[in-house]
Amino acid sequence: MDALQSSLLHQSALSYAYPLYRNLLDNSIVFLYHGPITPDLVVDILSLVENRLDDTGEDRRISKKLFNIMVESFSLGEDVERGHAVLLVRQLPYLYTVAIGRRIASSAVYQVKAFLDWVNTLSPEALREAYQRQLEKDDPRNLSLVGGVPAISILDLARKSHGILNYNFEYLNDSDTFFSLEARLQKTI
Amino acid sequence: MEALRIESTHKTPRVILDPENGIFEFSGRSIPEDSVGFYTPIFEWLDKYAQQPLPLTHVRFDLEYFNTSSSKNILEILKRLEAIHAAGHEVRVTWYYDEDDEDMEETGQDYQALLNLPIELSVKVQS
């Protein structure tokens, strides 16, 4: 047991409960998941979110869009080799944001960033063409990856969110970097 | 040739490939654990059907949601149907979408753009 594990053992989870709750509330985070992403879990989470959106009376078009963005965000988080992912949904007055975070290889950061920067320059029509080209090109047994991330999922997310994908890289060590990607959905589309 | 029937699960679609009546149907969700394992028997079945297809095949896609890995497999299914159509055996595809789901409608338009196959986009009638 290392020092960190030892210190965790002696701290009560209660000391984290309120700060975590406060953080979620202050940042309008209405949904947060941390753990491995599997198809079974995706189905369960989507069903939960769908019920919640129905309860809040959200417009069906917006609910469907948010739902589809979440499906694709989960695709980006599936990587059993690099451990758990984080998915969070924020509900702001005029928009929803869906962010997925996961580890990628530190050596892949440049490649992923260059791809995202290119995607963010594309017009809706150019994005549609890029998506179709990628769909045509990909091998169903082996989707094309950009730095370990499926290129088609990024293109799809960009299309579905009608806007710029925000991203961040947090260097962890020479092997791993934490990559997070946020798709935004305007409530007024 | 025997029909292929796969019942839906909470993460895989219902598939009916009926060679006697030339009616194919894909409905439900598609986020399989192993998309290659799920779709390969369908590809193999379609390859056999392509050897002796009916003069007219109706294909219905009525999907709730699917991930991009499945969208590639659906394209592979449609490519096989396109080949049957190109060989002179009529294939009519109907792509159903919920009227609130513009992403599903756009996906249907993507397939229309990528293939030389009659794909009709149709709004689902709410039951």
Is A143 within 8 Å of chain B by CB?
A: yes
Residue of B nearest to A143 (CA): B69
- Total count of domains within chain A: 1
Contacts of B65 in chain A (CB under 8 A): 46, 67-68, 71
pLDDT at residue number A189: 56
Contacts of B33 in chain A (CB under 8 A): 38-40
The domain that contains A163 carries what CATH number? 3.30.565.10
- In contact, B24 and B58? CB cutoff 8 Å: yes
Minimal C-alpha gap between A47 and chain B (Å): 10
Write out pLDDT tens, residues B46-73: 999 999 999 999 999 999 888 888 999 9
CB contact under 8 A, B11 and A67: no
Mean pLDDT check: name the lowest of A45-59, A72-86, B75-89.
A72-86
Cα dihedral A115, A120, A121, A124 sign: positive
Query: For B67-106, b where at least 16 C-beta lie within 10 A, e where not — what string?
Result: bbbbbbbbbebbbbbbbbbeeebebbbbbbbbebbbbbbb
Contacts of B72 in chain A (CB under 8 A): 135, 138-140, 143, 152
Query: For A42-58, b where at least 16 C-beta lie within 10 A, e where not — what string?
Result: bbebbeebeeebeeeeb
Average pLDDT over residues B94-99: 95
Minimal C-alpha gap between B23 and chain A (Å): 25
Q: What are the φ/ψ torsions at residue A58 (nearest 5 degrees)?
A: -65, 145
Report the DSSP beta bridge partners of residue A90: A29, A97
Contacts of B76 in chain A (CB under 8 A): 140
Instruction: Give the CA dihedral A131, A83, A185, A40, nearest 10 degrees.
Output: 90
Is B39 within 8 Å of chain A by CB?
A: yes
Contacts of A153 in chain B (CB under 8 A): 68
What ipTM was predicted for this assembly?
A: 0.89
Q: Which of A38, A136, A153 sits opposite B68 (nearest CB)?
A: A153
pLDDT at residue number B69: 83
Residue of B nearest to A47 (CA): B10
Average pLDDT over residues A146-154: 90
pLDDT at residue number A80: 55
Instruction: Give the CA dihedral B107, B108, B110, B111, nearest 10 degrees.
Output: 130
Is B89 within 8 Å of chain A by CB?
A: no
Domains of chain B: 4-123 (3.30.750)
Contacts of A99 (CB under 8 A, 6+ apart): A73, A86, A87, A88, A89, A90, A180, A181, A182, A183
Measured CA to CA in angstroms, residue B83 lies from A3, A163, B103, B117 at distances of 63, 36, 27, 9
Percent of chain B whose pLDDT exceeds 90 = 81
- H-state helical runs in A35-167: 39-56, 60-77, 109-119, 124-137, 151-161
Owning domain of residue A171 = 3-186
Q: Output the six-digit token pair for A84.
A: 């758990």
CB contact under 8 A, B36 and A136: no
Write out pLDDT tens, residues A165-183: 999 999 999 999 999 999 9
Question: How high is the mean pLDDT of chain A?
Answer: 87
* 3-class secondary structure, A86: strand
**Whole-angstrom Cα distance, residue A69 to residue A126?**
20
Helix/strand/coil (H/E/C) assignment for every residue in A44-56: HHHHHHHHHHHHH
Highest mean pLDDT among A35-39, A40-44, B63-67: B63-67
**Whole-angstrom Cα distance, residue A11 to residue A7?**
7
pLDDT at residue number A3: 77
Is A95 within 8 Å of chain B by CB?
A: no
Backbone angle region of A51, left / alpha / beta, with phi > 0 → left and psi within -120 to 50 → alpha: alpha
Which of B:47-66 have CB within 8 Å of A? Answer: 65-66
Q: pLDDT category, A13, cuts 50, 70, 90?
A: confident
The DSSP line for B83-115 is HHHHTT-EEEEEEEE-TT-HHHHHHHHHHHHH-
pLDDT at residue number A1: 66
